[in-house]
C-alpha cells in the first residue's frame, strides 16, 4: 500500500472520525497544518532521536528499543511539564511490562522548548477535547527508536493492546533501512480492522483507546542496519496512570 492509498481521514473531521471509527489517520502536511507550523518546524525535532537512552526494562531481554519519556498537563490554555516521573501501566493493559514503575531518561529540554513541540501537543489536545468534554489532559510523551542491531526489532513487544488512557497518537518520525513495521488497528469489541504501513515522516495515527486495540509488527533490516523512530503521545483525563489507583 503506497502512501496515497492509506485510509486517511478528513482533517476537518478528526473528532468525528475518532468517535465513529475509533481512529483518525493524517497526512504529514495535515499534521503540520493542524499544529500551525511547517513540516520543516517538525523536522527540527527529529535530531533529538539520535540521543535516546537504552530501554533496560524489556522482559524479552532485547536491546532493540531506545526511548525518552516526559509528562505534561494541558489545561486548555497552556501545556505545563510536570516533575519527572516514572511511567506505569496496569497489567490489564500491558501484560508484559504492566505493574512496573519504569523510570526513563526525560525528553531533552531543548526538544520540549521548540515551538513545534508545544504546538503539536496542544493542537492534538484540542482534538481530544472536541471528541470528549474539554478538561485538563494528563499527557505522556514517549520518544522511541526501534533498531535492528540484533536482527529484529519489536515496536510493540506486548502485542495488540490498549494503553489505559483516553487517546493515543502514534507519529512516524523516520524509518530507515527496514522492512515491516505494519500498523494494525482493530475494533476492541468487533471484527473491523485496518492494516497499513506509515512511511512518510510526520504521518500521524490518533486512536480512541477505549474503542480500538493497536500494534505494530516487527521490523527487519534491509541491509546491515535499520531503525524506526516514532513519537507516541497519550492523553488521560483525571490523572496520570497510577496516581488515581
Please report the pLDDT score of residue 95 as a whole number. 46
Return the C-alpha torsion angle 180, 183, 186, 191, nearest 10.
-40
Domain that holds residue 140: 14-55+79-237
**Would you say residue 91 has pLDDT above 70?**
no
pLDDT at residue 196, rounded to an integer: 96
Q: Does any domain span residue 208?
A: yes
Whether 60 is covered by a domain: the verdict is: no
What's the confidence (pLDDT) of residue 161?
85
**Residue at 199 is within a domain:** yes
Work out how many domains the chain is built from and give that number: 1
Average pLDDT score, the chain: 91
Q: Are 151 and 180 in contact (CB under 8 A)?
A: no
Chain centroid, CA 173 distance in Å: 10
Q: Which residues contact 49 (CB under 8 A, 6 or more apart)?
A: 143, 145, 173, 174, 229
Is 243 contained in some domain? Answer: no
Question: What's the whole-number mean pLDDT along residues 88-114?
Answer: 76
Residue 244 belongs to a domain: no
Residue 97 lies in a domain: yes
Determine the Cα–Cα distance for residues 196 and 26; give it in Å rounded to an integer. 13
Kindly report, residue by residue over 167-182, the tens digit of the pLDDT.
999 999 999 999 999 9
pTM of the predicted protein model = 0.93
pLDDT of residue 241: 86
121: CATH? 2.60.120.620
State yes or no: pLDDT of 40 exceeds 70. Answer: yes
Question: pLDDT tens digits for 209-227?
Answer: 999 999 999 999 998 889 9
CA distance 121 to 81: 12
pLDDT digits (tens, 9 = 90+) for 128-187: 999 999 999 999 999 999 999 888 999 888 778 888 899 999 999 999 999 999 999 999
Amino acid at each position: 500500500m503506497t502512501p496515497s492509498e492509506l485510509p486517511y481521514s478528513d482533517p476537518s473531521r478528526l473528532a468525528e472520525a475518532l468517535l465513529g471509527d475509533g481512529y483518525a489517520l493524517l497526512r504529514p502536511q495535515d499534521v503540520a497544518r493542524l499544529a500551525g507550523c511547517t513540516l520543516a518546524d517538525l523536522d527540527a525535532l527529529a535530531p533529538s532521536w539520535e540521543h535516546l537512552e537504552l530501554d533496560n526494562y524489556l522482559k524479552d531481554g532485547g536491546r532493540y528499543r531506545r526511548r525518552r519519556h516526559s509528562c505534561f498537563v494541558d489545561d486548555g490554555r497552556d501545556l505545563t511539564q510536570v516533575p519527572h516521573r516514572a511511567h506505569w501501566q496496569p497489567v490489564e493493559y500491558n501484560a508484559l511490562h504492566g505493574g512496573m514503575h519504569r523510570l526513563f531518561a526525560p525528553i531533552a529540554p531543548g526538544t520540549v522548548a521548540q515551538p513545534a513541540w508545544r504546538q503539536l501537543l496542544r493542537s492534538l489536545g484540542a482534538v481530544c477535547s472536541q471528541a470528549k468534554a474539554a478538561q485538563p489532559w494528563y499527557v505522556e510523551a514517549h520518544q522511541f527508536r526501534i533498531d535492528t542491531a540484533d536482527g529484529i526489532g519489536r515496536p510493540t513487544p506486548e502485542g495488540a493492546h490498549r494503553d489505559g488512557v483516553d487517546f493515543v497518537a502514534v507519529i512516524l518520525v523516520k524509518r530507515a533501512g527496514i522492512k515491516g513495521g505494519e500498523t494494525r488497528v482493530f475494533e476492541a469489541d468487533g471484527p473491523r480492522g485496518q492494516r497499513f504501513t506509515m512511511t512518510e515522516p510526520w504521518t500521524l495515527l490518533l486512536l480512541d483507546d477505549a474503542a480500538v486495540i493497536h500494534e505494530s509488527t516487527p521490523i527487519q533490516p534491509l541491509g546491515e542496519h535499520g531503525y524506526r523512530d516514532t513519537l507516541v503521545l497519550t492523553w488521560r483525563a483525571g490523572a496520570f496512570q497510577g496516581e488515581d489507583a
